[in-house]
C-alpha cells in the first residue's frame, strides 16, 4: 500500500493538479458547509510554503524551489498547528487568515516528522487578533460525522467537506516513511492542500487531515487527538523527542500446538514475542517466546491486537501512548509462569536512514572528485528504477536488512560512493558510484567522520578505497587527488568539500 501526503498538488504536475481541481469542485458542489454552532473557520489558516529538497547524490545542491499549499489552525499559545510535511524543507512559510489577503511570515517552532505534525509561530502578533484558538476533542466514534476544514486545491477560499469516521487503526505514516501510528479514516474528502487542516466535530478539533491512499476512493486519513496530544505534551519541555517503540516483534499465537507448548490456556488472549530489536530496553527485559497477555492495561488478543477505545488494532498503540523514557506495564507468560514487566519505551533512531530525511541536509565529503555520503532511503530514491537492479541490491540489503539479520556487522551510518565528478585524477576509476565503502586506507568506515580520518591519516602514495561485496577496490593518487580538490570544487560549483 502506498500512501500519499496531501500538500497542494505540485504546480509542475498540471495533470494531477487538474484532476484534484475537478474532484474538489465536484465535492464542493455536493456538500454544503456543516451548520456549526461556532465559527471554527476563522481559526483555520492557509499555509504557503516555498521549499527546496536536497539532491542526495549531489548533496551540496538543492532541487528547484517548490511552492506548495497546505492548511493549519490556531491553537492555544498563539501558535499554529499543521502537518510536518506541509513545512518540510521550507525556505519561507507564509500564512493567511480567513478571508484576509495579507500574508504573514511564519517559522517552525516544533516539528515531529514521525507523527507528521508541526507547530508554527508568527512573527507579527497582530496575526492572532480576533482569532480564537481551537480546542481539542476526544477520539471520534466510528460512524460519527466530522467536517474537514482547509484550503485544498481548486480554489482560493476555505473549503469544507463532511464525512463519517470509517475506521480507526494503526496506519503507516507516509511522511516519515517507516513509522505507523494511530490514524482515522474518513470518507470526508481530504485533498491536496487539506493537509494540516482541522477535522472538526462538535466545534472541537478531533483530527488533523494528513494523507490519502492513491487509488482508494472516498478514503482520507486524519491524525487523531491521541497523537496530537502526545506531540503537544512532548514539546512542553521545548524539545521534541518523538514516539517511542517497544522494540519487540509480536506475532499471532493462534496455532494450538504452539499455544499449548507455551502453556497458554485462554483461547483468545496472548500473542507471542517472536523477536526483539537490538539496542532497545526490551533486550534485557523480554525474551522470544514470551507471551504478551496485557500491555498498559489492554488485554492482548491472540492475533496481537487490543481493543482501544472500542476499536481493535495492533498492540503497538499501547506503546505509543507513553512519552519516550516512560514505561508500559506488561503482563506476560514466560516458561508457563505469569510475570509482570515494566518495559521502558524509547524513541528508536538506529533506523533513521531507512526513513525519509528532513531538517538536516545530507552530510558529504568530496575527495578527488569522489562524493561520499551516508546511505539513506533518499539516496536510494535517486537511483529510480535502478534501485531494484541486481547491481544495487547490496545497497538495499545494507539499508533495510543488515541491522535485523546481522546486527554485529551493521554500521551506524553506511557510507556510499554516491558519484564521481569527472576529472583526470579519477578518470580511470572503474567503480564510480553506487557502492558501499567498506574501508579506506585500511580504516573501517562506519560513519562519514571515518572517511575524513582515513584520508587525513594516510601517508602512502595512494588512497585505497575498498567496497563491500566482491572485494572490489579503487586507488587514487593521494597527492594528485588532494591537489585537484579545489579545482574540482570550483569546476562543479561546490561551495565546500564537506558537510559533516
Residues with active-site annotation: 85, 116, 195
Question: Do residues 384 and 343 lie in contact, with contact meaning Cβ atoms separated by under 8 Å?
Answer: no
Nearest approach in angstroms of CB 118 to another protein is 30
Nearest approach in angstroms of CB 305 to another protein is 14
Query: Whole-angstrom Cα distance, residue 168 to residue 397?
Result: 33
Nearest approach in angstroms of CB 432 to another protein is 11
Q: Look-up: residue for cell 587527488?
A: 481
10 vs 268, which CB is nearer to another protein? Answer: 268
E-only strand ranges, 301-442: 305-308, 311-314, 327-334, 337-344, 364-367, 370-374, 415-420, 435-440
18 vs 473, which CB is nearer to another protein? Answer: 473
288 vs 412, which CB is nearer to another protein? Answer: 288
Question: Do residues 411 and 445 lie in contact, with contact meaning Cβ atoms separated by under 8 Å?
Answer: yes
Pairing of strands 117-122, 66-75: unpaired
Interface residue list for another protein (CB under 8 A): 249, 251-258, 261, 274-275, 288-289, 388-390, 393-394, 396-397, 401, 404-406, 428-431, 461-462, 464, 469-477
**Distance between the two ends of the chain, CA-based, in angstroms?**
35
325 vs 461, which CB is nearer to another protein? Answer: 461
What angle (nearest 5°) sits at the alpha carbon of residue 185, between those of residues 179 and 187?
145
Residue ranges of the alpha helices (H) in 241-326? 256-261, 282-285, 316-320
Query: Whole-angstrom Cα distance, residue 199 to residue 451?
Result: 49
- Give the DSSP letter of residue 45: E
Cβ atoms within 10 A of the Cβ of 397, count?
A: 14
Q: How far is CA 417 from CA 236, 329, 379, 437, 463, in A?
A: 41, 45, 11, 7, 14
Nearest approach in angstroms of CB 429 to another protein is 6
Nearest approach in angstroms of CB 487 to another protein is 18
Nearest approach in angstroms of CB 25 to another protein is 39
5 vs 302, which CB is nearer to another protein? Answer: 302
253 vs 318, which CB is nearer to another protein? Answer: 253
Helix, strand, coil proportions of the chain in percent (round to 5)?
25, 35, 40
- Torsion angles phi and psi, residue 51, rounded to 5: -130, 160
119 vs 276, which CB is nearer to another protein? Answer: 276
Nearest approach in angstroms of CB 486 to another protein is 20
Q: In 3D, which of 101, 99, 100, 107 has the Cα closest to residue 124? A: 107
Amino acid at each position: 500500500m502506498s500512501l500519499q501526503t496531501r500538500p497542494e498538488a505540485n504546480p509542475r504536475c498540471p495533470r494531477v493538479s487538474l484532476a484534484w481541481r475537478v474532484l474538489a469542485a465536484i465535492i464542493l458542489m455536493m456538500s454544503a458547509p456543516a451548520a456549526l454552532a461556532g465559527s471554527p473557520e476563522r481559526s483555520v489558516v492557509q499555509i504557503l510554503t516555498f521549499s527546496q529538497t536536497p539532491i542526495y547524490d549531489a548533496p551540496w545542491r538543492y532541487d528547484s524551489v517548490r511552492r506548495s499549499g497546505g492548511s493549519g489552525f490556531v491553537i492555544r499559545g498563539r501558535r499554529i498547528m499543521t502537518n510536518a510535511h506541509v513545512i518540510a524543507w521550507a525556505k519561507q512559510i507564509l500564512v493567511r487568515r480567513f478571508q484576509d489577503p495579507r500574508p504573514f511570515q511564519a517559522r517552525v517552532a516544533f516539528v515531529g516528522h514521525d507523527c507528521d505534525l508541526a507547530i508554527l509561530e508568527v512573527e507579527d502578533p497582530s496575526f492572532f487578533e480576533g482569532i480564537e484558538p481551537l480546542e481539542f476533542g476526544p477520539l471520534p466514534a466510528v460512524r460519527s460525522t466530522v467536517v474537514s476544514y482547509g484550503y485544498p486545491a481548486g480554489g482560493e477560499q476555505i473549503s469544507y467537506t463532511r464525512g463519517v469516521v470509517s475506521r480507526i487503526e494503526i496506519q503507516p505514516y507516509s511522511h516519515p516513511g517507516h513509522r505507523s501510528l494511530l490514524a482515522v479514516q474518513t470518507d470526508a474528502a481530504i485533498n491536496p492542500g487539506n493537509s494540516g487542516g482541522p477535522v472538526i466535530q462538535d466545534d472541537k478539533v478531533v483530527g488533523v487531515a494528513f494523507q490519502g491512499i492513491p487509488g482508494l476512493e472516498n478514503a482520507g486519513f486524519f491524525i487523531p487527538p491521541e497523537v496530537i496530544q502526545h506531540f503537544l505534551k512532548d514539546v512542553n519541555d521545548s524539545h521534541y523527542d518523538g514516539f517511542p517503540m517497544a522494540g519487540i516483534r509480536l506475532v499471532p499465537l493462534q496455532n494450538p500446538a504452539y499455544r499449548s507448548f507455551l502453556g497458554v490456556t485462554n483461547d483468545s488472549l496472548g500473542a507471542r514475542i517472536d523477536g526483539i530489536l537490538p539496542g532497545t530496553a526490551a533486550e534485557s527485559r523480554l525474551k522470544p517466546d514470551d507471551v504478551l497477555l496485557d500491555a498498559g492495561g489492554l488485554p492482548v488478543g491472540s492475533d496481537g491486537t487490543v481493543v482501544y477505545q472500542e476499536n481493535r488494532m495492533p498492540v503497538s498503540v499501547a506503546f505509543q501512548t507513553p512519552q519516550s523514557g516512560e514505561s508500559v506495564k506488561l503482563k506476560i507468560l514466560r516458561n508457563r509462569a505469569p510475570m509482570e514487566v515494566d518495559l521502558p519505551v524509547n524513541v528508536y533512531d538506529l533506523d533513521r536512514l531507512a526513513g525519509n530525511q528532513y531538517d538536516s541536509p545530507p552530510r558529504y565529503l568530496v575527495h578527488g572528485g569522489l562524493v561520499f555520503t551516508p546511505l539513506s532511503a533518499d539516496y536510494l530514491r535517486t537511483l529510480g528504477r535502478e534501485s531494484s537492479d541486481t547491481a544495487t541490491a547490496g545497497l538495499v540489503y545494507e539499508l533495510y536488512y543488515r541491522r535485523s539479520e546481522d546486527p554485529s556487522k551493521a554500521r551506524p551510518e553506511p557510507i556510499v560512493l554516491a558519484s564521481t565528478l569527472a576529472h583526470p585524477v579519477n578518470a580511470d576509476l572503474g567503480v564510480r558510484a553506487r557502492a558501499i565503502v567498506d574501508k579506506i586506507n585500511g580504516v573501517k568506515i562506519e560513519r562519514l567522520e571515518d572517511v575524513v580520518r582515513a584520508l587525513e591519516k594516510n601517508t602512502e602514495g595512494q588512497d585505497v578505497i575498498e567496497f563491500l561485496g566482491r572485494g572490489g577496490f579503487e586507488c587514487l593518487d593521494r597527492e594528485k587527488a588532494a591537489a585537484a580538490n579545489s579545482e574540482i570544487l570550483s569546476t562543479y560549483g561546490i561551495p565546500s568539500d564537506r558537510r559533516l
